Structure 1
Amino acid sequence: MFCSFMLKQLTKVQPLSSSCNEHLLQELSCEESSVYIGGFNITNNTDLTQTFYPFSSTRKPKVQSLGPQKTGEYGTDYLLYNTSQDGFAPALYKIDDPGGDYEFYTNAGNTDIRGIGPM
């Protein structure tokens, strides 16, 4: 798995002091380790909590939620999300810029995703 490889490399580059748990970095999830390996940011610019599934060919979908005006960082290629605010209408969004900034926004009563300028 890509995350595990990167974490092992980080352990070699930045050895942990003897007072730290030597396995600390290996216990991080892929989402937590994205701080070290980078990823795209997405901000929830809607009035509702957005629940979605980021995934890629090397990372299984895992449910995530962002409250209104919150931002999260993810290292995946796709987002599966619900466009309907009062039903279920799933949509798949491909991340074009893996280091870019994106937002959930409301468009004619539905939730959409778009790339945005620097945050």
Structure 2
Amino acid sequence: MAVKQTSTNQENKKFLSENCPEIFAIQLISGQWILAICCVLLEGKLRFGQLRESLPNVTERMLTLHLKQLEANGLVNRIVYPEVPLRVEYELTENGKKLQPVIKELEKWGQQVMDSNAKKDS
């Protein structure tokens, strides 16, 4: 179901993303598999099949949609080689590579929260 671009919710999202760099950044990397794809691509160029192997629970359709979204957002380059059979590789752009320290901090923070929650549960 398509969301009306004139809805209050869409207007609020647009306002926040235009006026709050943090919200804009989060919108670029939001999505169930977006951050995972970026983490895998931090290791270097990969073909679609290699990405699928690295993320075995993502469907082909979802991986394709997220790669297109990352490309549209300027975080991933799609490189097509004029060969037979066609070869396509994906890599992070310079802006995508700048996510590395952010991802590392998210990893550290996530581990701290997981550990803290585990202590509460035990």
Q: Please state which band the TM-score falls in when normalised by the shorter chain.
A: under 0.3
More helix by share: 2
Bigger Rg, structure 1 or 2 = 2
More strand by share: 1
Report the TM-score, using the length of structure 1 for normalisation: 0.24
Comparing both chains, which one has the higher relative contact order based on Cα–Cα distances under 8 Å and sequence gaps of 6 or more?
1
